[in-house]
A and B are shown apart, each in its own frame.
Chain A
Amino acid sequence: MINWMRAFFEAKSENESLARMMAAGFFSALNPTISEITDVKTAVSEAVTNAIIHGYEGKGGSVELYCAYDTQKLYVEVADQGIGIGDIPKAMEPLYTSKPEMERSGMGFTIMETFMDSVRVESQPEKGTRIYMEKQLSRE
């Protein structure tokens, strides 16, 4: 990696915008286009929101945001030590949500996959979840 950052913050919804700003600020060194930076912000927002409302079910905890880049790509990881995901393929299906009563749309993973080049989920029930995302910038 040429450069990286790691931040931990409380699983509070106020921190969703903070996480987007940290990622956007960190990757601005790469001179991304506005569209590319919005892609990353949107994906970070989805993953961090999931950690807060699904991983910790709104009860709080520590959310980790890792951002890095090398000459090829940028990398984002979002992790929680929350309830974990039992059935990952099902969780990633468009429109699937375990919280319809919260007016969740079930489109979070689909949006991450649309705006990033790759999305990988590692999760264990009762242990937590880590989302790995990668994106290639157009100038390279």
Chain B
Amino acid sequence: MTAPTGERDELVIAGDEDVVRVRQVVRGFALRAKLSLVDQTKLVTAASELARNAVNYGGGGQAVVELVGNGRRVGVRARFADDGPGISDVELALTDGWTSGSGLGLGLSGARRLVDEFELETEVGRGTAVTITKWAR
């Protein structure tokens, strides 16, 4: 179990400029959690992918970024939620190179590799929420 350490930020993600803002906020949290430069970059990039998906496929949504601790380590957790169409075939969506649009199809699968914890909840017609966590080493 992890206990939140209190610091938390909520952002609306509707367009390109919000994706940039999410990246900046996540980087701020990553710095406070003292993530290494490589881990900061990985987390920020994963956040960028998920925020972008929420805009591109989910019609916009919300991001919650927080500092978390599990007694041993601190980390950053970010959740990206939208009320979009949901993902009907999760396995396919997580396949490297698969895209329903014209992307590289590496956002979801790549983001999963970039972080320590990755949780995807989705329901067709209801929306999608992806939660990622990166722990300081």
Please indicate whether A and B come from the same complex rather than being unrelated chains: no
Using a CB–CB cutoff of 8 Å, the interface residues on chain B facing chain A are: none
